Amino acid sequence: MTLRNGSGQDGRMLVTSRIGGSGVADGRHPSGGAGASGFGGPGGPRRPRYRLIRRIAGGGMALLLLASATSGLVLWTKYEQLVADLPTVDGLRTYQPPVMSRLYSGDDRVMAELAAERRIFVPYSAIPDRVKNAFIATEDQKFYTHGGVDPFAIIRAGLTDLTMHKGHRPLGASTITQQVARVMLLGSNAVSLQRKAKEALLAIRIEQTLSKEKILEIYLNEIYLGAGAYGIGAAAQTYFNKPLDQLDDAEAAFLGGLPRSPTNYNPYRYPDAARARRNWVLQRMAEVHDITPEAARAAQQEPLMPQAFTRPGPVPGSEWFAEEVRRQLIDRYGVDTTMQGGLSVHTSFDPHLQQIATAAVRDGLAAYDRDHGGWRGPVGQLDGIGAGRTTPPSDQWMPGLTAAPRPAGMLDSWRLGVILSPATGEVGWAEGTPAAASPRTGRLLARDMAWMRRWRLPRAGDLVLIEPQAEGGTVALRQIPKVEGALVTMDVRTGRVLAMVGGWSFNASQFNRATQALRQPGSSFKPFVYLTAMEQGISPSQKFDDSPVSYGTWHPNNFEKDFWGPTTLHDALRESRNLVTIRLAAHIGMKSVAAMAANLHLVDSMPHVLPAALGAVETTVLREAGAYATIAAGGRLVTPTLIDDVQDRDGRVLWRPDGIGLQPAAPTQAPATTPPASPAGSSPATPLPAPPAPADGPEMTDTRPQVASPASAFQITTMMRDVIRRGTGVQAGAGIDYPIAGKTGTSQDFNDAWFAGFSPDIVTIVWVGFDTPQTLGKNETGAAIAGPIWNRVMKAVLADRPRLDFPVPEGITLARYDTGIGVTVDAFKPDQVPGISSDLYANVTGALTSADTGAENMPDSEDDMAASPATRQVGSTAAPPPGAPGQPGVPAAEKPPAGGDIGMGGLY
């Protein structure tokens, strides 16, 4: 269609051409030709330029935006996950590092340390500047300016790691704050991007929460610096044996170089590497102007000479004591607080007395073993040692001797020796540390050679235990005994345990026989039977019949297999007469005896059977020490304690033993004063109250229960004094010119030997026996085996103490009288007539029954004697025959005897 203007184009095409830039207003082509119809012809408008490029660019931008959004979403999700798993940093505000606990002896010396990590906390204000500067110059020069993360250090470390060859350790870029985050909050050293991201986030949070000073304090006290030292305080002590404030620049620089690799810079193993690292740190400190170049060069010239540090404790011989204290602390506070809570534990341990007790027990066990065990032969053998009369050269036997293992239980004063000449008894041993040992030779004592040959002929190359003697170039033959022993010495009034021996050697066996071994006390239990009788008003001069008696299938007897007839309780306890004790227990009732033993904390419970009166129960040495101390303390319950007090890291007292304490004394009121006389006609003057007088000082309070009356306890003490003076305990009291009381104890078949005794202020209990109960030998009683050990310890204890007498309670009368066997002195209560044995059955209307004697719980045989109470009814008892005061009847058995004669029960 032709338009009015004759152009031959419609208006739409014109507009399109204008838009496309290919037409003009008059409808002509720019080239001068007439326009052609359509766009495809040569004369039509051109396509838009760079359409494809624009489309590609637009699509790329869209993809980029989509990828950015997706990446942002992924990163945000990952960030949320990291943040959700991050621990809180609020706990660092009240940071308290794990600090070792210390045990102190009675004289306030460190006797042992308890620690999972050995650390000495040093507050920021007490850390010397040179130490701070050494660590900052080495680990984080921009510590005071960055916000927790150092980006430039990260870039530098990344570029360095890219250029390093494979297998090389990556260069670290963690700031001090990041290290605190890793150690305190993450607890992981895993090399991963996730861990590094968490570390960086936590570091930023820590910087926002804590001051730089607090962050540095945490870091310097937490970091591990090798050789078991955590923190700079312990490291200064470990490497240089001096406190932190005494370190010089060179020593501080050495510590500052350790965090990178404490093992590789150990000055003992790698002194050259340690010295080079120290010098590098000094150079860095000079570069950042912490020290002058001259001071750095001077410090670099100093030799690196670490001083060996000996960790305190355990004090020799204190292992049993310290281990028992540790066990009690764990029971009370748990493992973490005990090992890392920084507790200060003050104990009652007496180092000097402990050495005496340990030596006494060991010598006693060694003497028994030598007399009864014989020589059991060598502990090993070295090959290649000739049997000639000439001594082989040391290079022939020293290498093998130093490499031979040391037997468990070998004492520090002993040496492992090798027999060089069996004919002459020549022995060689190594003196000094294995790395610097020097050969020594000596000759066995003649008596030891004879003892050895009596059991086995020695051979060249035999490894034996010896102890060099002070003079004459001789050595004594030694042997680790198989028999064991235990001892406890404690203060009578307070219950403070002063010394404890749990066996021959703590290194050989950590089982504490003083606190953990349940053994039968034998006749050392008898005083508690007599104490029960005293509480019931029975007099020490009361007589019971010492004659044969049977209860069902049980036929007890005296140790001596003889009978004395009517015998006072005093004589019966002094000579440990079994039959009198049984009749006494039957009269007062085993329920009463059991109650007394439980009240004394000697046992938790015990069977109500008559054999228990002879010691057929189980207890520990420590418990028996508390029970005997209660008697010595006038019946006031004494509970053994090893710990005087426990303090936390801030010095607050967490625990003290109950019972004895101090309280401020109440002020005393002075008499009222009279005012001046009133004028005539006025009312009389009223006396003016006087102000209270100041108190003299604190008063001691004792809230412990009174288990037995002071009078009854003193009666038993008086009787036991005669046990040592002229009874079964004479051997234990030999040479002791102090008031002492005690009792022997020997259990069934001589399996356990005891001696328990006390002075007015000290009680000591000794036990000897085998871990697996077996006989110590015929007639091996507590007096013969345990008595000499007790004697040696008590002599040493009392030598440094004033002479004290047992206090006589009010109303007690001491009287001398004839018991029928001899003249003695006893204590009598106000209603008792000295020397009189009353008729205990005057008001009894019927015969004793099984309920009175405890016979309803009698075991059927010897094997059942120490077991739980039986429930069979044995039978009724007959009335006591005339002429036997206090003698219960003999029950008739309901069936034929099933057990043998166990007359040794309780023994001696």
Which of these is catalytic: 17, 505, 523, 539?
523
Indicate the residue type of 743: K
User: Does 294 participate in catalysis according to the annotation?
Assistant: no
State the residue for tokens 């403070």: 496
Beta strand 653-655 with 438-444 is unpaired
Distance CA 358, CA 789 (A): 10
Distance CA 769, CA 485 (A): 6
Contact 44/16 with Cβ under 8 angstroms? no
Contact 809/706 with Cβ under 8 angstroms? no
On the 0-12 / 13-18 / 19+ scale of CB atoms within 10 A, 476 is middle
Residue 173 CA, chain-centre distance (Å), reads 42
The per-residue DSSP string of 548-593 comes to ---BTTB----TTS---EEEEHHHHHHTT-HHHHHHHHHHH-HHHH
3-state percent helix, strand, coil for the chain, nearest multiple of 5: 35, 15, 45
Helices (H) and strands (E) in the chain, counts: 25, 26
The pairs formed by 35-40 with CB atoms below 8 angstroms and a separation of 24 or more are: 35/7, 35/8, 35/9, 37/8, 37/9
State the residue for tokens 């020069």: 141
Q: Is the dihedral of CA 6, 10, 16, 18 positive or negative?
A: positive
Contacts of 427 (CB under 8 A, 6+ apart): 417, 418, 419, 420, 441, 442, 443, 444, 464, 466, 475
User: Does 287 participate in catalysis according to the annotation?
Assistant: no
The per-residue DSSP string of 389-408 comes to SSPPPHHHHHHHHHHSPPPT
Contact 757/732 with Cβ under 8 angstroms? yes
Distance CA 161, CA 223 (A): 25
Distance CA 688, CA 754 (A): 66
Which of these is catalytic: 139, 319, 324, 426?
139
Rg of the chain (C-alpha set): 45
Tell me which residues are annotated as active site. 139, 523
